[in-house]
Amino acid sequence: MSSAIIKPNGIGAAAPRKEDYRFITGNGHYTDDINRPGQAYASFVRSPHAHATIDAIDFTDALAAPGVLAVLTGKDVAADGLGGLICGWLVHSKDGSPMKTGAHPILALSHVRYVGDHVAVVIAETAAQAKDAAELVNVSYGELPSVTAVAEARNPAAPQVHPEAPRNTCFEWELGDKAATEAAFKTAARIISLDIANNRLIPNAMEPRAAIGEYDKGTGIYTLHTTSQNPHVARLVLSAFVGVAPENKLRVIAPDVGGGFGSKIFIYSEETVCVWASKKAGRPVKWVADRSESFVSDAHGRDHQTHAELALDANGKMLALRVKTIANLGAYLQLFSASVPTYLYATLLSGQYDLPAIYCEVDGVLTHTAPVDAYRGAGRPEATYVVERLVETAAREIGMDPAEFRRRNFIRKFPHQTPVIMAYDVGDYEASLNEACRLIDYANFPVRKREAEARGMRRGIGFSAYIEACGIAPSAAVGSLGAGVGLWESAEVRVNPTGSVEVLTGAHSHGQGHETTFAQLVSDRLGIPIENVEIVHGDTDKVQFGMGTYGSRSGAVGMSAIQLALDKIITKARKIAAHVLEAGEGDIVFEDGRFTVAGTDRGMAFAELALQAYMGHKFPTSEIEPGLKETSFYDPTNFTFPAGCHIAEVEIDPGTGTVRVVKFVAVDDFGNIINPMIVEGQVHGGVAQGIGQALLENAVYDPQTGQLLSGSFMDYCMPRADDLPSFDVGVTVTPAPSNPLGVKGCGEAGAIGSPPAIINAITDALGIRDIAMPVTPERAWRAANGL
776 lines the binding site for another protein (CB under 8 A)? yes
Instruction: Identify the bridge partners of residue 363 per DSSP, sorted by sequence position.
Output: 172, 326
Decide if residue 655 touches another protein (CB under 8 A). yes
* Near another protein by CB under 8 A: residue from 20, 135, 397, 441: 135
Do 472 and 553 meet the contact criterion of CB atoms below 8 Å apart? yes
Comparison of 631 and 710: residue with beta carbon closer to another protein: 710
Helix residue ranges per DSSP H, 201-354: 231-236, 269-281, 291-297
Phi, psi of 734 (to 5 degrees): -125, 110
Q: Which of 366, 372, 344, 339 is nearest to 263 (CA)?
A: 372
Nearer to another protein, 518 or 716 (CB): 716
Residue 593 CB-density burial (10 A; 0-12 exposed, 13-18 middle, 19+ buried)? middle
Cα–Cα dist 729/667, whole Å: 6
Say whether residue 716 binds another protein (CB under 8 A): yes
**Binding letters toward another protein, positions 679-698, x by CB under 8 A:** ----------------xx-x
Q: Rounded CA gap, 297 and 115, in Å?
A: 8
At 656, the amino acid letter reads T
Contacts of 728 (CB under 8 A, 6+ apart): 439, 440, 663, 664, 665, 666
Subset of residues 474 to 503 that bind another protein, contact rule: CB under 8 A: none
Shortest distance (Å) from residue 336 CB to another protein: 29
Cis peptide before 774 (omega within 30 of 0): yes
Q: Which range of residues in 167-175, 259-267, 603-611, 771-779 is near another protein by CB under 8 A?
A: 771-779
Residue 760's contacts (CB-CB under 8 Å, 6 or more residues apart) are 388, 389, 392, 402, 460, 461, 462, 463, 464, 648
Region from 77-85, 129-137, 371-379, 428-436 binding another protein, contact rule CB under 8 A: 129-137
Q: How far is the CB of 714 from another protein (least distance, A)?
A: 4
Binders in 284-343 for another protein, by CB under 8 A: 290, 292
The separation between the first and the last C-alpha atoms of the chain, rounded to the nearest angstrom, is: 56
Determine the size of the site formed for another protein (CB under 8 A): 27
The answer to the question of residue 215 lying near another protein (CB under 8 A) is: no
How near is the Cβ of 656 to another protein at its closest, in Å?
6
Residue 454 lies near another protein (rule: CB under 8 A): no
Q: What is the DSSP letter of 208?
A: P
Determine if 154 is a binding residue for another protein (CB under 8 A): no
Question: E strands within 347-432?
Answer: 357-366, 416-417, 423-424
Single residue of 404, 715, 767, 769 touching another protein by CB under 8 A: 715
Of 75-83, 491-499, 741-749, 775-783, which segment contacts another protein by CB under 8 A?
775-783
Cis ω for the linkage preceding 473 (within 30 of 0): yes
Question: CB of residue 659 vs another protein: minimum separation in angstroms?
Answer: 10
Which is closer to another protein, CB of 132 or CB of 373? 132
Q: CA 650, CA 661: separation in Å to the nearest integer? A: 4
Binding segment for another protein among 131-139, 231-239, 308-316, 371-379 (CB under 8 A)?
131-139
Q: Is beta strand 727-731 parallel, antiparallel or unpaired with respect to 357-366?
A: unpaired
Considering the complex, state which of residue 47 and residue 337 has its C-beta at the smaller distance from another protein: 47
Which residues in 642-689 belong to E strands, given as ranges? Answer: 643-652, 659-669
Nearest distance from residue 695's CB to another protein, in Å? 8
Between strands 357-366 and 318-330, the pairing is parallel
Nearest residue (CB) to another protein, 696 versus 751: 696
Among 1, 439, 709, 724, binds another protein (CB under 8 A): 709
Q: Tell me the one-letter amino acid at 174.
A: E
- What is the closest distance, in whole angstroms, from the C-beta atom of residue 771 to another protein in the complex? 15
Which of 582, 714, 726, 786 binds another protein (CB under 8 A)? It is 714
Q: How near is the Cβ of 718 to another protein at its closest, in Å?
A: 8
Binding mask 584-613 for another protein (x = CB under 8 A): ------------------------------
CA-nearest of 319, 310, 326, 321 to 361 is: 326
Among 4, 6, 64, 128, binds another protein (CB under 8 A): 128
Write phi, then psi, for 202 (nearest 5 degrees).
-115, 125
**Of 349-357, 570-578, 614-622, 714-722: span binding another protein (CB under 8 A):** 714-722
Closest to 190 measured CA to CA, from 393, 357, 353:
393
CB of 135 to another protein, least distance (A): 8
- One residue of 131, 178, 324, 602 binding another protein per CB under 8 A: 131
Determine which residue in the list 76, 117, 132, 373 makes contact with another protein, applying CB under 8 A.
132
Q: Which range binds another protein by CB under 8 A, 4-12, 416-424, 554-562, 705-713?
A: 705-713
In this complex, which beta carbon is closest to another protein, that of residue 351 or of residue 657? Answer: 657
Phi, psi of 661 (to 5 degrees): -80, 110
* Using rule CB under 8 A, residue 705 touches another protein: no
Cβ-based nearer residue to another protein, 633 or 781: 781
Stretch of residues binding another protein (CB under 8 A), selected from 208-216, 462-470, 629-637, 717-725:
717-725
The reply to whether 778 sits near another protein by the rule CB under 8 A is yes
Among 677, 717, 768, 772, binds another protein (CB under 8 A): 717
Piece in contact with another protein (CB under 8 A), picked from 93-101, 186-194, 447-455, 650-658: 650-658
Select 417 or 785, whichever has its Cβ closest to another protein: 785
Stretch that binds another protein, among 125-133, 145-153, 449-457, 624-632 (CB under 8 A): 125-133
Phi (first) and psi of residue 274, to 5 degrees: -60, -40
Q: In terms of CB distance, is 124 or 569 closer to another protein?
A: 124
Among residues 333 and 696, whose Cβ is nearest to another protein? 696
Half-sphere exposure in the Cβ direction for 412 (13 Å, CA):
7
Gyration radius of the chain's alpha carbons: 27
Do residues 41 and 287 lie in contact, with contact meaning Cβ atoms separated by under 8 Å? yes
- Angle formed by the axes of helices 676-691 and 749-766, to 10°? 50
Closest to another protein by CB, 132 or 214: 132
Backbone angles phi, psi at 629, to 5 degrees: -150, 130
Task: Specify whether the CB–CB gap between 406 and 293 falls below 8 A.
Answer: no
Q: Provide the minimum distance between the beta carbon of 653 and another protein in the complex, in angstroms, as a whole number.
A: 9
Does position 656 bind another protein by CB under 8 A? yes
Q: Go through the chain and tell me how many residues it has.
A: 787
Nearer CB in complex with another protein: 584/655: 655
Exposure string of 737-771, with b = 16+ CB inside 10 Å and e = fewer, is ebbbbbbbbbbbbbbbbbbbbbbbbbbbbbeeeeb
In whole angstroms, the minimum distance from the beta carbon of 787 to another protein comes to 8
In the region spanning residues 532 to 591, those forming contacts with another protein, defined by CB under 8 A, are none
Task: Out of 39, 496, 500, 710, point to the residue binding another protein (CB under 8 A).
Answer: 710
Q: Which of 227, 230, 265, 269 is nearest to 29 (CA)?
A: 227
Binning the chain into helix, strand and coil, the percentages to the nearest 5 are 30, 25, 45
Query: For the residues of 512-565, what is the DSSP string, one character each?
Result: S-HHHHHHHHHHHHHT--GGGEEEE-SBTTTSS----S-TT-IIIIIIHHHHHH
**144 is an interface residue for another protein by CB under 8 A:** no
Instruction: State residue 52 phi and psi, 5-degree precision.
Output: -165, 160
Site string for another protein, 718-757 (x = CB under 8 A): x----x----------------------------------
Interface positions with another protein (CB under 8 A) = 128, 131-132, 135, 290, 292, 655-657, 695-696, 698, 700, 709-710, 713-718, 723, 776-778, 781-782
